[in-house]
Chain A
Amino acid sequence: MSAPPGRRRVAVRHRRTYGPYVVLGALDSAARAQPGQFYMLASAERWGGGEGERPYLARAVSVMAVADDGLTEFLLEDVGPGTRRLCEAQPGEELLVLGPLGHGFGAPGADVAPLLVGGGIGVAPLVAVQRAWGGTAVLGFRDGDHARGGELFDEPLIATDDGSAGHHGLVGDLLEAELAKQRRPVYACGPPAMLDDVRRRAASYEVASQLALEAPMACGFGACYGCVVATVDGYRRVCVDGPVFDGALLA
């Protein structure tokens, strides 16, 4: 299904917090996102005039989950003037949205339970993946407070950098153990260093990896060419050629 070709206003239905993370739910009556797709989000009021007279551009935000009635949820973390303003949004307040955008994850084969590897705010699209297709979530967070993001998953395995929850170490350690037990396709989203590690481990076990990339974007629909990533075929736009890429295609 194509996205409507313009920005729309949708009201925030609910706002929940999980440690430092904020989940915003909004009803999109015009479209249903697939796991891995994203929207460009801005607040309808007071967008701009924050730190450094920002934000100005909308922010690309992964879809965390979509219900059958179109209730679409986003996971946010305050990391700058744009996400700060979005995190402040309260029920009833309107967002300006464009989407759903980009190519999402491909479905796993029948009876295949994938490994879902997420780091930090990058766990967001994997919630939708687990709800659609199941699979084992293997999640890495900075600390125990951030690890509350794991509450969004069914029976996750958790690693933290400081050891305050779950395994003390990197999510890659947990992934390695799971792959050694059973080879299965990997779905991942997280910081660049984590994704690099994930696709190397997947390649060494000869399993497919689908990686959802993040990149600053001005538009989200292929106009600005600002969000490119290096692939074996040269630069590709994360917004229209991704955000989900086959790990084997990344340079």
Chain B
Amino acid sequence: MIEFAGLRLRHRVINASGCFDVLAAARVFGDELFAEFPFAAYVSKTITLSARDGNPPPRLWESAAGLINSIGLPNRGLRAYREADLPALAGVLPVPLITNVMGSTPEEVGELIDALEVEPAVAAIELNVSCPNVATGLDIGADPAGLEALLRHVRPRSSKPLIVKLTPNTADVAACAAGAQAGGADAVSLINTLRALALAPDGSGAWLGGGSGGLSGPAIRTVALAQVAQVARRVTIPIVGMGGVASGADARDLIDVGATLVAVGTESFRDPAAGGRIARELERAFAQIGG
């Protein structure tokens, strides 16, 4: 068993938020999905206080060894998540549930955390801080002081492990991680997608309905490795490393530079069983060198 921020997990591979929808997958694949569930913990898509439609299509652009997405965090809001999704998840999920939330102010994040604090199905909370601060225009997570202040506001309200999903779109990701740790975060996860732009082939401007998007996939793997290494040198709390992981060797690289867990995102789009394969490859990689 792997210890991570108070959770006990069967192996080191989880999913990246927004890259797997257990309830949809269960409808498509039936009970067989749970016979060999690919992840050691399940991270939900981002939940917000109010429902969001998400961005107008097109939402996807395939780039060189990667994917640019502009999905826009569609979700039915906190109330529907508690009334519909949590009971459904509690009935089927064979692994701990990490609920990812986003709010545009510390008060909103506090409200989300208060609601999840009383939900026994939620094992841990991941904070998506890639949300613009309306006052500064910066992402909340791009500003170390703002991030520390956010954590100081919400940390006392929850007994559950708090994981901060760091944005890579910042000058100094290690400083942001240090801010999260100083504010009381139990762990950090990184990297989120890199801001990217796809142009329409006909010259009409941005391709994606939401304007710019976020780049994921093998194209960002080495960036993830560098950022995880930077953060690991700066903080003592555990790290979930992610970004373009497609094999046990990729996962092993992130662990070598300081990650405790590894999340699989875009590779799961290519194969819903990828998480399980990567976990097995990683175990073999550890066994071979006695690590």
Show the binding face of A for B, using Cβ within 8 Å: 2-7, 42, 48, 52-58, 96, 98, 101, 215-219, 221-230, 234-235, 237, 240
A219 touches B269 (CB 8 A): yes
> How far is B45's CA from A2's CA once the two chains are assembled, in angstroms?
24
- A57 partner residues in chain B, CB cutoff 8 A: 62, 67, 269-270
B57 touches A229 (CB 8 A): yes
B62 touches A5 (CB 8 A): no
Chain A residue at minimum C-beta to C-beta distance from B24: A222
- By Cβ-Cβ distance, the 10 closest A-B pairs, closest first, are A222-B24, A6-B273, A2-B30, A53-B64, A5-B29, A219-B269, A226-B60, A7-B271, A218-B269, A226-B59
B65 touches A98 (CB 8 A): no
Do A7 and B29 contact each other (CB < 8 Å), given the known contacts A53-B64, A218-B69, A225-B59?
no
Chain B residue at minimum C-beta to C-beta distance from A1: B30
B25 touches A5 (CB 8 A): yes
A48 touches B24 (CB 8 A): no
> How far is B74's CA from A215's CA once the two chains are assembled, in angstroms?
18
- B273 partner residues in chain A, CB cutoff 8 A: 5-7
> How far is B271's CA from A180's CA once the two chains are assembled, in angstroms?
47
> B268: CB under 8 A from chain A?
yes
A2 touches B28 (CB 8 A): yes
Other-chain residue from B32, B45, B54, B218 in contact with A5 (beta carbon distance below 8 A): B32
> How far is B58's CA from A3's CA once the two chains are assembled, in angstroms?
27
What is the minimal beta-carbon distance from A218 to any residue of chain B, in angstroms? 4
> How far is B122's CA from A155's CA once the two chains are assembled, in angstroms?
58
A223 touches B271 (CB 8 A): no
What is the minimal beta-carbon distance from A189 to any residue of chain B, in angstroms? 18
Chain B residue at minimum C-beta to C-beta distance from A80: B62
> How far is B269's CA from A4's CA once the two chains are assembled, in angstroms?
15
Other-chain residue from B58, B67, B268 in contact with A223 (beta carbon distance below 8 A): B268
B270 touches A7 (CB 8 A): yes
B53 touches A234 (CB 8 A): yes
- A101 partner residues in chain B, CB cutoff 8 A: 28
B66 touches A56 (CB 8 A): yes
> How far is B21's CA from A227's CA once the two chains are assembled, in angstroms?
14
> B272: CB under 8 A from chain A?
yes
- B18 partner residues in chain A, CB cutoff 8 A: 225
B60 touches A4 (CB 8 A): no
> How far is B29's CA from A101's CA once the two chains are assembled, in angstroms?
9
B33 touches A223 (CB 8 A): no
B270 touches A42 (CB 8 A): yes
Do A225 and B54 contact each other (CB < 8 Å), given the known contacts A5-B273, A98-B271?
yes
- Which of A48, A101, A223, A237: most chain B CB closer than 10 A? A223
Do A223 and B24 contact each other (CB < 8 Å), given the known contacts A57-B269, A216-B58?
yes
Chain A residue at minimum C-beta to C-beta distance from B31: A2
> B20: CB under 8 A from chain A?
yes
Chain B residue at minimum C-beta to C-beta distance from A58: B270
A240 touches B269 (CB 8 A): no
Chain B contacts with A in 267-286, Cβ cutoff 8 A? 268-273, 276
What is the minimal beta-carbon distance from A224 to any residue of chain B, in angstroms? 5
A226 touches B71 (CB 8 A): yes
Other-chain residue from B30, B33, B36, B266 in contact with A218 (beta carbon distance below 8 A): B266
> B27: CB under 8 A from chain A?
yes
- B21 partner residues in chain A, CB cutoff 8 A: 222-223, 225
Known: A5-B33, A56-B63, A219-B270. 13 other contacts (CB 8 A): A5-B29, A5-B32, A5-B36, A7-B271, A57-B270, A96-B271, A218-B269, A223-B19, A226-B60, A227-B57, A234-B53, A235-B54, A237-B24
- B54 partner residues in chain A, CB cutoff 8 A: 225, 228, 235
Chain B residue at minimum C-beta to C-beta distance from A96: B271
What is the minimal beta-carbon distance from B16 to any residue of chain A, in angstroms? 10
What is the minimal beta-carbon distance from A157 to any residue of chain B, in angstroms? 32
> B217: CB under 8 A from chain A?
yes
What is the minimal beta-carbon distance from A222 to any residue of chain B, in angstroms? 3
- A58 partner residues in chain B, CB cutoff 8 A: 270
- A222 partner residues in chain B, CB cutoff 8 A: 21, 24-25, 27-28
- B217 partner residues in chain A, CB cutoff 8 A: 56
What is the minimal beta-carbon distance from B39 to any residue of chain A, in angstroms? 12
What is the minimal beta-carbon distance from B103 to any residue of chain A, in angstroms? 20
